Structure 1
């Protein structure tokens, strides 16, 4: 979908502050409220804007460990991907599931309250996931750059 300068201004302002009211967003993007509302609706209808979400700092809620698990699946079973992903979705501590082409098939991003909680989760839930051929855990140390803002 092609977007013009007005759409870009609206999206830049919305990325900077998703909580803006339509009136404030219109003022910052230098358009009328009606134009702002119509443009946002068009962007939603076309799937450019897919909603708003609450970003929760899970550290403040007592989760202190983040681990990225790189998983290589047993490709001799044609149901390996579907079975693994279905089972991984059932683990509440799995925040993100991504699939890849290459040696690593799936990446799971998981959180735990502390190292003891991680060990329990790893032994009881992760190692019991089906079709794992190889598994590598990468302990998260720090975020250097994080964000979903596009260079509009």
Structure 2
């Protein structure tokens, strides 16, 4: 599906997503129109999903990150759907993941400090529907955070 030129384009976009089409074309040895068509093709195929600004939330004053492993009350038929819909509405929840196994979901929660985290936990997390059990894991360090794919 992808040839070497497409992969080269993807490597450059992953390294520097803010490149203009002209800069990208030059780095890939293509004419700008040809480069743009290839980028559009990968977008249409769902390979490139979009571009985003990555913000360092710690520089904005959020110094606490907690991972919450949540087991849901699965006796309720819509427990997953209702829980996920409500968790998405909590601004401090950065990520929601679902699993098969003992733990059903994981929430990544940020807060300015421990007092702020306690407030979020009591007023927003504990009020989420269908929670049977919660295990909190305090984030200590991020060793690797990379979404660059080996293309």
TM-score tier (shorter):
over 0.9
- Specify the alignment match of 1:99 in structure 2: 98
Aligned-residue RMSD, C-alpha: 0.8
CA-CA distance at 1:45 after TM superposition: 0.9
Give, in whole Å, the separation in 2 of the partners of 1:14 and 1:148.
Answer: 12
Q: What TM-score do you get using the length of structure 1 for normalisation?
A: 0.96
Is 1:25 the counterpart of 2:24 in the alignment?
Answer: yes
Give, in whole Å, the separation in 2 of the partners of 1:124 and 1:80.
Answer: 20
Q: What TM-score do you get using the length of structure 2 for normalisation?
A: 0.97
- Specify the alignment match of 1:4 in structure 2: 3
1:108-123 equivalent positions in 2, closer than 5 A: 108-123=107-122
1:2-151 equivalent positions in 2, closer than 5 A: 2-151=1-150
Gaps of 5+ in 2: none
Gaps of 5+ in 1: none
Give, in whole Å, the separation in 2 of the partners of 1:48 and 1:86.
Answer: 26
User: What secondary structure is seen at the aligned counterpart in 2 of 1:36?
Assistant: helix
User: What secondary structure is seen at the aligned counterpart in 2 of 1:70?
Assistant: strand
Give, in whole Å, the separation in 1 of the partners of 2:39 and 2:86.
Answer: 37
CA-CA distance at 1:125 after TM superposition: 1.1
Report the number of matched residues: 151
Deviates more, 1:108-117 or 1:122-131: 122-131
Give, in whole Å, the separation in 2 of the partners of 1:32 and 1:4.
Answer: 17
